């Protein structure tokens, strides 16, 4: 065997452990997603039916195309639900383990908080906090590097969008204090 055929495997020290217990199965997730999409399709279908799904003298009413898209979504959801209920193979397959879910939540929760913080603090302050927190907590990067990178990124973003291109971005109390 030549040296080019040797595979080097490096373990990821932050990878989820292999013996982590299952949180849910693929079967359960398939059924849940199909039911949620069916509820969405029914809600959208009703609302568009209420708006108007017929043709009038000027063409289709406002709800015509969205109504039929919701019918297609409902049909696809029904198909997915039936397929999930009839599937025996996926009934015991693990969809996500506790360790995997923890890693996903480590990204999802800060991102959700970023979206909420943007409403009150503005895009730039929220971006600074998100970048600094991700670098520090998830990346385990030194505090000064995290703060410097977050500051430089948000400063460049501010100069690019607000000053150079004059794009209106969500602002908070800090920008108001500086007159922007």
Q: Give every residue of the chain whose pLDDT is below 70, as ranges.
A: 1-5, 8-16, 90
**How confident is the model at residue 14, as a pLDDT?**
64
**How confident is the model at residue 51, as a pLDDT?**
92
Q: What is the pTM assigned to this prediction?
A: 0.69
Of the candidates 124, 116, 114, 105, the one whose C-alpha atom is nearest the C-alpha of residue 170 is 124
**How confident is the model at residue 88, as a pLDDT?**
78
Distance, CA of 125 to CA of 152 (rounded, Å): 12
């Amino acid at each position: 065997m030549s040296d080019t055929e040797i595979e080097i495997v490096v373990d990821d020290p932050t990878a989820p452990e292999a013996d982590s217990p299952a949180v849910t199965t693929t079967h359960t997730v398939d059924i849940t997603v199909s039911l949620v999409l069916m509820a969405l399709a029914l809600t959208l279908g009703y609302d568009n039916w209420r708006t108007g799904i017929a043709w009038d003298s000027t063409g289709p009413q406002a709800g015509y195309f969205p109504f039929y898209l919701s019918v297609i979504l409902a049909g696809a959801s029904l198909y997915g639900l039936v397929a999930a209920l009839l599937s025996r193979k996926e009934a015991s397959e693990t969809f996500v383990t506790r360790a995997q879910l923890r890693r996903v939540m480590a990204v999802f929760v800060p991102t959700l908080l970023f979206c909420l913080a943007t409403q009150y603090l503005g895009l730039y302050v929220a971006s600074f906090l998100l970048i600094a927190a991700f670098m520090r907590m998830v990346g385990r990067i030194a505090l000064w590097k995290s703060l410097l990178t977050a500051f430089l990124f948000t400063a460049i973003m501010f100069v690019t969008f607000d000053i150079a291109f004059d794009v209106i971005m969500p602002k908070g109390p800090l920008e108001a204090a500086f007159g922007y």
